[in-house]
Amino acid sequence: MSDGRHRTLRDAIGWSYELCTDAERTLWARLSVFAGAFNVAAAREVCASADLDADDIFETIIRLVDKSVLVRAQPAAAGLPDADQPAWYRMLDTIHEFGSEMLGASGDETSVRERFVCRYLGKAQYFAEHLTDTVQLERFRELRREHSNLRAALLYTLDDEQCEQVRQGAELANALYGYWHMSGLLREGRYWYRKVLDRLPRTSSPERGWALASRGYLGAMQGEAAERVADATAGTEIGRELGDHRLIGRGYNYLTLALTIADRYDEAKVAAAKSERKLEALGDRTGLAILDCHWAHLPISPATRRRPSATARGP
């Protein structure tokens, strides 16, 4: 696009902005925090504040649609007829860019982004906590529909200079370990773990330990044995330093897979046994289910084959 056409388009967008009410301008700016489509519930959670009531957001969205600031989008939810699916909305790129500038100038950017990150951190943590529950498929599809917004939340935190924001990004990336696996996005997951490990202090912390262990898990699935053994070992060691028994159990779990891929079967069996003891003591059903999958990759004779844990198989 030429500079002249760009200026003409920007002038038109600015003119539309001037025609909006205060509520419409505020919501336009705040909705620009979403990188992808959003629904009314998401808009209320992220954009509502003392000066923009949650009850007014739906009507304000409709007015922004009428003014072509927002367009309808319909991320498909499998199994639901069109009439039963919630309405989703998005902004065109030029309008989104203008809204981002207005958000930056408003003084609200930090608080809006914090609410945005909290929304997706909560969703990721719930998914991780219920990875093997009956809600797994529904929650996974929800995260897939909002993949662009998950990426935006990770960018907001991991490109930030504040240590607390980086820790939030680490927590988000760590909570998504199962999502990266299930969606086949192993390379992307490892990219975010690299960002986490580059940004976190080099001291031992739960966030660093989980990022190392999780990167070892994803990398082992891609067949990169040596480096992933090192990652899983380092993450487990941080768990031992901190007395974090769940990290120790999961670390040995992921180390089992990495060692198996490296053809170090005897060491893998030792790691699996250590993991099983920890995870059974903690009642970590998800961890035990993952471990059963890793046991299945090990060449064990029928006489010594471990029986799958009842805890892992149970509902």
DSSP tag of 162 = -
To which residue do tokens 């998914």 refer? 127
**Mean of all residue pLDDT scores within the chain:** 89
pLDDT for residue 299? 84
What tokens does 11 get? 């002038």
pLDDT for residue 313? 40
Greater confidence (298 vs 254) lies with 254
User: Has residue 268 got a pLDDT over 80?
Assistant: yes
pLDDT in tens, 156-180: 999 866 677 899 999 999 999 999 9
Residue 154 contacts residue 173 (beta carbons within 8 Å): yes
User: Has residue 60 got a pLDDT over 90?
Assistant: yes
Stated pTM of the model: 0.88
Tell me the pairing of strands 71-73 and 38-39.
unpaired
Half-sphere exposure of 107 (CA within 13 A, CB side): 0
User: Has residue 80 got a pLDDT over 70?
Assistant: no
* CA dist list (Å): 211 to 4, 139, 190, 194, 304: 47, 22, 9, 8, 33
What tokens does 288 get? 């035990």
pLDDT for residue 76? 56
Q: Which of 126, 61, 51 is nearest to 87 (CA)?
A: 61
Mean pLDDT score, 238-251: 98
User: Has residue 312 got a pLDDT over 70?
Assistant: no
Query: How many whole angstroms separate alpha carbon 110 and alpha carbon 278?
Result: 41
Neighbours of 79 (CB within 10 A): 9
Query: How many whole angstroms separate alpha carbon 182 and alpha carbon 56?
Result: 37
pLDDT for residue 303? 41
Type of residue found at 67:
K
pLDDT in tens, 82-122: 555 678 999 999 999 999 999 999 999 999 999 999 999 99
pLDDT for residue 164? 79
pLDDT in tens, 2-37: 555 556 778 789 888 999 999 999 999 999 999 999
DSSP, residue by residue, 259-279? HHHTT-HHHHHHHHHHHHHHH
User: Has residue 311 got a pLDDT over 60?
Assistant: no
Neighbours of 73 (CB within 10 A): 14
Q: Which of 259, 267, 245, 254 is nearest to 213 (CA)?
A: 254
* CA dist list (Å): 164 to 76, 117, 121, 161, 307: 35, 12, 14, 9, 43
Q: Out of 158-172, 202-216, 266-280, 292-306, which region has the weakest mean confidence (pLDDT)?
A: 292-306
Half-sphere exposure of 135 (CA within 13 A, CB side): 9
Residue 198 contacts residue 206 (beta carbons within 8 Å): no
Q: Out of 180-189, 222-231, 253-262, which region has the weakest mean confidence (pLDDT)?
A: 222-231
Query: How many whole angstroms separate alpha carbon 64 and alpha carbon 60?
Result: 6
Coil, strand or helix at 81: coil
Query: How many whole angstroms separate alpha carbon 260 and alpha carbon 93?
Result: 46
pLDDT for residue 79? 52
pLDDT in tens, 186-234: 999 999 999 999 999 999 999 999 999 999 999 999 988 889 999 999 9
